[in-house]
Structure 1
Amino acid sequence: MAKLYFYYASMNAGKSTNLLQADFNYRERGMATMLFTAAIDDRFESGTIASRIGLSAPATMFDAATDIAAAVAARHADTSLACVLVDEAQFLSEAQVDQLAAIADSGGIPVLAYGLRTDFQGQLFPGSARLLALGDALIEIKSVCQCGRKATMNLRVDGTGRPIAKGAQTEIGGNDRYVALCRRHFVEALNG
């Protein structure tokens, strides 16, 4: 039976690298995959999943209006898919997560979703909340805080490195905008 997997972590934990490795493993064995990435993520080339260590692969972009189930069904009709992989899964809508669950349950295709669990205020993203609710397997990818403890939080910083506590939930950025911290150092940075 196919499953819906949710691999979650703080920023810079290697989520995209893990996704690209999983994709490679399937393709190396002659199996077809379908990759998705959020259209809102403009840090790299459009329609590309890229890791900080230099790996990349083309992907189908999704936004809130994308019917992921229809896109997978169309591709699966042409080429039998062995796996669907989703990067930046925190940006999925609840309905899209429901579609991914149906792809695993009814379509028999494993779905591997990778994303952030929480935003810069420690709040769940709607897509992540639904993945936590529906996922058959919830796998934390570990990252490290500056103190050596497990990083679980994403601190948003301004151009000078000062913590930002308020703003829109979604603001795209990398190491220039976010720092992965343990909860203790996250709270200290916001209250300091």
Structure 2
Amino acid sequence: MAKLYFYYSSMNAGKSSSLLQADFNYRERGMATMLWTAALDTRSDGLVRSRIGLEAEAHRFRPDTDLRAAITAAHRESALDCVLLDEAQFLSETQVWQLAGVADELGIPVLCYGLRTDFQGALFPGSAVLLGIADALVELKAVCHCGRKATMNLRVSEDGSAVKQGAQTEIGGNDRYVALCRKHFSAALKG
């Protein structure tokens, strides 16, 4: 029975690297995969790209992309063994349910990788639904500067100070976000 998986973490835990490793493992065994990433992340240019230099071409999803229809069409052309999706926090509730249908009705495992929470500690919509309905939840670990597990994403300004307000989504990497444990996240917001 195929499952819907959600691999989640804070920034800098290796989500994209893990996705690319899983993709490699399937392909190495002669299996067909389909990769997806968020069109919203314009830095990726249609690639799943890790900080350690690995990358692979991917389809890009937008808020209005019917993932189930796109995956079904590709599966009819050439049987898929796995679907891997990066930046899963940007999925809509409808899209998460579409992916659940891919696993349940098409029998294709779906591996989603994304952030659990935003820079204010709130769940992203896609992550909230995945946490609620995924068959398997896997937390990937990042490390705070103190050595504890980093679970939070602190947004920082150009001068390095904590950003407390703003849009939920602002694309950026290490220049805009710092992975912290809850203690240091809270302290940074109070400071």
Who is 1:50 aligned against? 49
CA distance in 1: counterparts of 2:181 and 2:42, whole angstroms: 27
TM-score, normalisation: structure 2: 0.99
Matches within 5 A, 1:126-141: 126-141=125-140
Who is 1:190 aligned against? 189
TM-score, normalisation: structure 1: 0.99
Who is 2:147 aligned against? 148
Compute the RMSD of aligned alpha carbons: 0.5
Query: 1:81 aligns to what SS in structure 2?
Result: coil
Who is 2:113 aligned against? 114
Who is 2:158 aligned against? 159
**Percent sequence identity over matched residues?**
70
Deviation at 1:26, TM superposition (A): 0.3
Q: Which runs of 5+ in 2 are unaligned?
A: none
Partner deviation per Cα, 1:130-162 (whole Å, 9 max, x = no partner): 000010000000000000000000000001101
CA distance in 1: counterparts of 2:103 and 2:68, whole angstroms: 11
1:169 equivalent to 2:168? Answer yes
Deviation at 1:37, TM superposition (A): 0.1
1:59 equivalent to 2:58? Answer yes
Who is 2:24 aligned against? 24
CA distance in 1: counterparts of 2:111 and 2:123, whole angstroms: 19
Deviation at 1:16, TM superposition (A): 0.1
Query: 2:141 aligns to what SS in structure 1?
Result: coil
- Residue identity opposite 2:42 in structure 1: D
Q: Which runs of 5+ in 1 are unaligned?
A: none
CA distance in 1: counterparts of 2:187 and 2:161, whole angstroms: 12
Deviation at 1:68, TM superposition (A): 0.2
- Residue identity opposite 2:75 in structure 1: H
Deviation at 1:39, TM superposition (A): 0.2
CA distance in 2: counterparts of 1:42 and 1:159, whole angstroms: 20
CA distance in 2: counterparts of 1:2 and 1:48, whole angstroms: 25
Consecutive aligned runs of 4 or more in structure 1 exceeding 2 Å deviation: none
Partner deviation per Cα, 1:139-188 (whole Å, 9 max, x = no partner): 00000000000000000000110100000000000000000000000000
